[in-house]
Structure 1
Amino acid sequence: MPDQFEDFQGQVGVTIDESEPWWPLLPEHEHGPRPNVLIILFDDMGFAHLNCYGSTIDTPNINRLADEGLRYSNFHVTPLCSPTRASLMTGRNHHAVGMRTIANFHDTGFTNMRASVSKHSATLAEMLQARGYATYMVGKWHLSPAEENGPAGPYENWPLQRGFDRYYGFLSGATDQFYPELTHDNHHILPPKSPEEGYHVTEDLVDNGISFLRDKQSHRPDQPFFMYFALGAVHEPHQSPPEYVEKYRGRFDAGWDEVRREWYERQLASGIIPPDTELADRNPGVKRWEDLSDNGKLFAARLFEAFAGFLDHTDAQLGRLLQHLEDSGLLDNTIVVLTSDNGASGMGGPMGMLSIVAGGNGISTNDGELMLRGPGRPPATEEAERLEAWQSRLGDIGGPRSWTDIPWGWAQVANTPLRWYKSDAHGGGVRVPLIVRWPERVPQGQIRDQFHYVTDIVPTVLDVLGESVPDSYKGLAQMPVHGKSMAYTFKDPDAESNKGVQYFEMWGHRAIWMDGWKAVTRHFRGRPYDEDDWELFNLAEDFSETNNLAGQEPERLQKMIHRWWIEAGRYNVLPLDDRTITGGPSQRPGNPHDGLHYRYYPPTAHLHGRVSPMLQLGDWKITAEVERESTDQEGVLFAHGSMAGGVSFYIQDNRLCLDFNSREDVTVGRSDSELPAGMTTVSATLASSADKSGVVTLFVDGEESGTIAIPDTSGIAVRGGADIGADHYSPTTGSYDAPFEFAGTIHVLDIRVTPKGTLPRPQTPREASESG
């Protein structure tokens, strides 16, 4: 009998009549009935955001999960998006798997920040897929280098290459809820309809998640599934259908001080925080509500109304998903896990944010100053002028013409009763809700207070499924899982936590939890690490981290700091890197911005934000070789950015046009002469000055045909990506009805960017190889 690479268990004779056929069982029949797994991950949802964790925002469907399952009050995550997602999917610490910070900050050249998950750390999807599960991912990925998110990949770090059978969502971080940059499986797609037609991304995600499940149930009903549903909510921009925003009109007029006190009292009454918990003081930089101007109060209240509407709308969409599972008879055989990637964000700054180019930049120093803007806030007169100007746009808040984020005061309300925000290692950044529902083993309506961490989700799921972590996956040795199963907490509310120690690190902010105590420090670039001030808290007695015992327990503090360094060495935390923004192109060889020269052969797919040409880095020249059968043919040649800022290069009324949108202030330019039919080469160049003004010059077949004075060249938004031959997403200008597809043919589009200043030079492949 010839060698066989299949474990054939039939009988092979000389003829078919002398042989016995055999077929391997399908996984669902080989392994028998197994529960499904649904992990729902919110984005930037603080400890107090959910109604069942204290808020007055309506979340009835999530409340039902809590009523029918367990709520955890001592669950922790990393301080930021991508790192938590990497740990959630692998059960390993985020530095160890190559995700020190968020993926769009590039591969820094060290193994703790490859901006992707190490192949030596299989994801839960890869593990369960190998055991016969159908695996689906819906929503925000944020686990691939941003510069790999283009239409040609490389795809190796996309969801389908990391264990998911199907994918529908967005690959990057924050997304416009009305104009998301969508990916379906391994290709980019346009949203199926416009905001005017009722589009919202959360509804679209749920529609496609249900569609995946319907297909499976229709064709392989016995196969268990794993679905990872990663919402865009409640990350900024806070956008939802208008009826949800209007529902909360006036509900928060009492202000953040009174609302925070109300939510705190609701938490005490529900038992989700211990009865002796103190409400932390206002974070530095948060004004007393009564000290805000009337315009400031109105603006801030409207921002939180938009946030509440966004969360309420998200709960309603999750209700549709859960209802489908119930109607299909699947809900009670599904382990449902719901949590958040980090605490509520303080990026809205002290005032809040109306659009991506108006406000925000809100990382707070220990003194309550704006880190990204240097010392001091906007002068009172500037702040008052902004607020006065924004009064005319209050109606835009929460809709497609806004990119809103809440101010620090409301962010701390969302993290009640805790201190600080997302990106911090204090409680406000890392303690989040966790709800687990599974009627077979999880009791109903109870609370658990054991300390646990995001790395514990994977070992918990594997534990209850009777599965183990493979020693190797696709020929690669696998690092051990760092988390521990939480399944013991299901039946024993009084059991001691099985976690002994857990470190935290983000941008130099550091903390360590050990045997119920926590040491923590906030760090900022430019300060030596050994000069950081560490605080010490006994979390068993100090839930909200308000009683600093560093002075009373110096030996314990030093012991914990020493242990932090041990954990840092063990889990690949070093080198410490306190850079928070890396806005230029990656230094990794082969990235799409090498040389800042881009050449496209349309038609091409949409260019996602960080893959699109980096016009914001300096001067540029855009050249298009077009062909028109008649002078009536018009449309967009190249559109970059969004309604918040960008550039549109187009033909209209047989004139070459360029509109320059700088922070929503649009300058419109037209060529002096009309264009000929047939083959034509059209160009536009930007020459900017030190005062940020500039001149755009238009060319037709090499001849100058007009100039456009640009008052401010610095306000091009980096969000929104770019399109060639149309303006498909958030329109850059109102000069046409988007998408205004070009009716002729674009043969080539060429863009060259000349940066202002010196950018880090990408390594050549040889240099990268020689440097190890």
Structure 2
Amino acid sequence: MSDVVTYSDGQPFPGVIGRTADESSPAWPTPPRAPEGAPNVLMFVLDDVGFGQLSSFGGLVETPVLDRFADNGLRYTNMHTTALCSPSRGAILTGRNHHSLGLATIAETSTGYPGYNAILPFDKGMLSEMLLPHGYNTFLVGKWHLSPPEHETPAGPYERWPLGRGFERFYGFLGGDTNQWYPELVYDNHSIEQPAQPEDGYHLSADLADRAIEFIQDAHVNAPDKPFYLHYCTGAGHAPHHVSKEWADKYKGKFDGGWDEYRRVVHERQLAMGILPAGTELSAHDPDVPEWETLSEDARKVFARMMEVYAGFLSYTDHEFGRVVSFLEEIGELDNTLFLLISDNGASSEGGPVGSLNEMMFFNNVPESMEENLRRIDELGGPNVFNHYAWGWTNAGNTPFRRWKRETYRGGTTDPCIISWPDKITARGEIRTQYGHIIDLVPTVLDALGITPPATIRGVTQAPIEGVSFAHTFNEAEAPTLHHTQYYEMFGHRSIYHDGWRAVCPWPGPTFTEAAQKGRHYGSPIDAKVLADIEANSWELYDLTTDYSETRNVAADHRDKVVEMIGRWWAEAGKYNVMPIDGSMLQRINVERPTIAKPRDRFVYYPGGSPVPFSAAPKAYNRAFSISADVQITEAGAEGVLVAHGGRVGGYSLFVKDNRLHFVYNFLGRDFFTISSDTEVPVGEASLRYEFEPTGKPDFTVGKGVPAIGQLYINDKLVGAVDMPHTVPNIFSSEGLTCGHDGGSRVAPDFYHDDFAFTGTLKRVTIDLSGEDLIPDSETDLKVAMARQ
């Protein structure tokens, strides 16, 4: 037994301090140690996975590793989220409502109101910050998406990155999604290149599992008794649905019956498994979704393959996570691990009615093409696309509920939840039906660990946790529900739960089809006149005690209850910073926000630096701009990328190849506008330049940015031009900008396949968005340059 004397912070020094050491006795500040036998905590957060997709919840996607936790623990079938990723992730980590955190929506659509600004306050601490003083290691792998985009550059500030919010180690991506074959990786507080390439077998799901094992192992070998908290946030099943053909082919033919048959089969399975209360009806066929039997053979073929790829993606993620589970079992830590699984929202409809080869088309309002989807069907899941399934599968994935992500019907907010802790939860394979919300996860973990929520964190007085613990239900199936009231709001779509009743005020309408009949659409703003109309006419009411899946609107029969529920919603909204109600989308994306750097039109980049996140890269959309590269070419020549922005699914690249200057403008992986210089790049110092000059107006309604002329210059002489009838209106890609090479996936795959680093001397690249420095050209010069392309 150690003779070391220790004392806690705030206690008097218990040793003796004399004039000399021989007259003194030492004492040490107590190191943070968890109580004997304290459990590990593993929070597994899925992305865009609906209530009816996982096999443990009656779905047809096989996830045997997660099934093992369900079989050894509990399935909570009445658990709810906010209906969107960042808001849910903030609530999961803090135990507070998303508007309380400033996370009304994702940070990319933040606005200048307390509930909407995406600046997470420090008085709402995260579970990681709460567990650190109690002797826990804290690790996060995977998706973060909780920093304002303007904070995500190497210029910081870093205080709202994972390591600034209590995580000791981080490996993953900061944004909302990333290419699973070519991810934008951050290790702790710095960007890194991925450790291998897709052709070498690389995939992010495997990489995250490797890193999780490394973090746990590093700590375990040095302090075997020290517990850990691992926040594991896979990219699955958010777009892009990336997975190898081998895994997608495991589901070959399984979804040929279509989404209507899927809903029927899964609904029956859920009833048989007890996931749903007896008598729960399947929600009506959604008018936004075509009936499977009405589709052409080609359409069915494409749609079935999209679901095969999605299912393969989830199954592969489950398989890779299984390696982490096996490692925990090997070191004897699995049974004393409190495991919690949750998805951040219901299944996603961002693939639109016909699915997508490139999710960026959704964010640019570009119509999808069934013909193109069919032509490229064999590429689904691979590195050349950024694919997402059609929203028929979204609706099916949320069986038995209606609607989907971003909407506050149960299809958007009710999600699978599994909790397992073999050492302390005696129940095995049981179902819990108590109402819960993700703000309840933090207080439940603290309760299970016997930890009181901290009054302060790093000197900041903490606001009350807004969720309630449901740890009392772990071993008591009939324990009462303690969470009685919960509001919801997402892009103006609102609802509220109270003691078995649910009121919903859908925006822009119950479905897009019904909304269109009133001249409304997704993203329509809500003004005072519209609000008065929907308050008076749009609220629906459901009695969940007899109608678990929201199939019978009883508002007309219970007007007093409707009025009561509306009053409750407004009371909750006032309490948690929900106002102002905002139904807009495009306006929010393009709102002006304060930036860390002063506003500027001129950006200078140097080779060898970290990638610039897409949110911080120059917004070269629908405006005149120029790119200038100052280089030095030796007699031996040089080649490579000078600057690249975006990736395979959209962007641009300025590069030298075969002694010629080239520029490729990649329109969302669909159209490529290419210029090659008609003269060689000279030896010695040279100025290599590209200019973008708009020639008309954009048409955002059909996803077309300004038409433009692109021009190449060598030492201010026009050497090539191309006419571009349309350009990207809003966002190239979730990949950012790199100088001196093309990081991530390749913008110009027909010209180069690796990062094509520049082999000459690249002094700097300057991007000027002012449009004031464009070189004047005669009409004749321009015609000659374009004729040579």
Quick check: 1:656–1:670 contact (8 Å CA) kept in 2?
Answer: yes
> Higher mean Cα deviation, 577-586 or 161-170?
577-586
The residue that corresponds to 2:778 in the other structure is none
Secondary structure at the aligned position of 2:541 is classed as strand
Secondary structure at the aligned position of 2:481 is classed as coil
Secondary structure at the aligned position of 1:215 is classed as helix
The residue that corresponds to 1:387 in the other structure is 370
Corresponding position: 1:63 with 2:67 = yes
Which residue, 134, 140, 160 being the options, matches 1:157?
160
Inter-partner Cα distance in structure 1 for 2:238 and 2:372: 25
Paired amino acid for 1:555: D
Change beyond 3 A, Cα 1:200–1:473: same
Inter-partner Cα distance in structure 2 for 1:400 and 1:492: 48
Q: Tell me the TM-score normalised to structure 2 length.
A: 0.90
The residue that corresponds to 1:78 in the other structure is 82
The residue that corresponds to 1:484 in the other structure is 468
The residue that corresponds to 2:628 in the other structure is 623
Alignment map for 1:506-521 (pairs within 5 Å): 506-521=490-505
Secondary structure at the aligned position of 1:739 is classed as coil
Quick check: 1:245–1:310 contact (8 Å CA) kept in 2?
Answer: yes
Inter-partner Cα distance in structure 1 for 2:500 and 2:209: 39
Inter-partner Cα distance in structure 1 for 2:182 and 2:63: 25
The CA deviation at 1:628 is 2.9
Paired amino acid for 2:406: S
The CA deviation at 1:130 is 2.2
> Higher mean Cα deviation, 579-588 or 78-87?
579-588
Which residue, 501, 519, 531 being the options, matches 1:529?
531
Secondary structure at the aligned position of 1:432 is classed as strand
The CA deviation at 1:389 is 3.3
The CA deviation at 1:69 is 0.3
Inter-partner Cα distance in structure 2 for 1:190 and 1:723: 12
The residue that corresponds to 1:53 in the other structure is 57
The CA deviation at 1:747 is 1.8
Which residue, 84, 87, 103 being the options, matches 2:107?
103
The residue that corresponds to 1:540 in the other structure is 545
> Deviation digits for residues 612-640 of structure 1, max 9, x if unmatched?
22122422100111223335211100011
Inter-partner Cα distance in structure 1 for 2:589 and 2:353: 27
The residue that corresponds to 1:745 in the other structure is 761
The CA deviation at 1:583 is 7.0
Inter-partner Cα distance in structure 1 for 2:722 and 2:392: 43
Inter-partner Cα distance in structure 1 for 2:393 and 2:10: 62
Quick check: 2:692–2:710 contact (8 Å CA) kept in 1?
Answer: yes
Which residue, 170, 174, 178 being the options, matches 2:173?
170
The CA deviation at 1:587 is 2.6
| Identity, % of aligned positions | 41
> Higher mean Cα deviation, 554-563 or 123-132?
123-132
Paired amino acid for 2:625: W
Inter-partner Cα distance in structure 2 for 1:5 and 1:64: 45
The CA deviation at 1:643 is 1.3
Quick check: 2:525–2:582 contact (8 Å CA) kept in 1?
Answer: no
Change beyond 3 A, Cα 1:755–1:471: farther
Paired amino acid for 1:681: S
Inter-partner Cα distance in structure 1 for 2:573 and 2:567: 10
The residue that corresponds to 1:719 in the other structure is 734
Secondary structure at the aligned position of 1:503 is classed as strand
The residue that corresponds to 1:191 in the other structure is 194
Q: Point out where structure 1 has 5 or more consecutive residues left out of the alignment.
A: 363-371, 757-772
Corresponding position: 1:632 with 2:637 = yes
The CA deviation at 1:531 is 1.9
Inter-partner Cα distance in structure 1 for 2:12 and 2:228: 26
Inter-partner Cα distance in structure 2 for 1:14 and 1:478: 42
The residue that corresponds to 1:685 in the other structure is 691
The CA deviation at 1:357 is 5.2
Length, aligned pairs only: 731
The CA deviation at 1:149 is 1.2
The residue that corresponds to 1:413 in the other structure is 396
The CA deviation at 1:215 is 0.3
Inter-partner Cα distance in structure 2 for 1:293 and 1:748: 53
Inter-partner Cα distance in structure 2 for 1:526 and 1:604: 41
The residue that corresponds to 1:125 in the other structure is 128
Inter-partner Cα distance in structure 1 for 2:734 and 2:79: 33
Quick check: 1:348–1:408 contact (8 Å CA) kept in 2?
Answer: yes
Paired amino acid for 2:40: N
Alignment map for 1:558-577 (pairs within 5 Å): 558-577=563-582
Which residue, 586, 590, 608 being the options, matches 2:613?
608
Paired amino acid for 1:488: H
> Deviation digits for residues 89-113 of structure 1, max 9, x if unmatched?
110111011111012223x221112
Q: Tell me the TM-score normalised to structure 1 length.
A: 0.92
Q: Point out where structure 2 has 5 or more consecutive residues left out of the alignment.
A: 1-8, 509-523, 698-705, 773-789
Corresponding position: 1:728 with 2:711 = no
Inter-partner Cα distance in structure 2 for 1:66 and 1:284: 34
Inter-partner Cα distance in structure 2 for 1:654 and 1:746: 15
Secondary structure at the aligned position of 2:495 is classed as strand
Which residue, 175, 179, 184 being the options, matches 1:181?
184
Inter-partner Cα distance in structure 2 for 1:582 and 1:529: 18
Quick check: 2:32–2:133 contact (8 Å CA) kept in 1?
Answer: no
Quick check: 1:607–1:721 contact (8 Å CA) kept in 2?
Answer: yes
Inter-partner Cα distance in structure 1 for 2:581 and 2:360: 31
The residue that corresponds to 1:403 in the other structure is 386
Which residue, 226, 233, 236 being the options, matches 1:233?
236
Secondary structure at the aligned position of 2:600 is classed as helix
The residue that corresponds to 2:787 in the other structure is none
Paired amino acid for 2:741: A
Inter-partner Cα distance in structure 1 for 2:608 and 2:587: 31
> Deviation digits for residues 444-485 of structure 1, max 9, x if unmatched?
110000100000000001111111112222222211000000
Inter-partner Cα distance in structure 2 for 1:636 and 1:575: 46
The CA deviation at 1:387 is 2.4
Corresponding position: 1:339 with 2:347 = no
Which residue, 644, 653, 659 being the options, matches 2:649?
644
> Deviation digits for residues 55-105 of structure 1, max 9, x if unmatched?
122111110000000001100010100101111111011101111101222
Which residue, 648, 673, 692 being the options, matches 1:667?
673
Inter-partner Cα distance in structure 2 for 1:219 and 1:582: 52
Paired amino acid for 2:464: P
The CA deviation at 1:49 is 1.0
Change beyond 3 A, Cα 1:95–1:244: same
Give the RMSD, CA atoms, in angstroms. Answer: 2.0
The CA deviation at 1:754 is 4.6
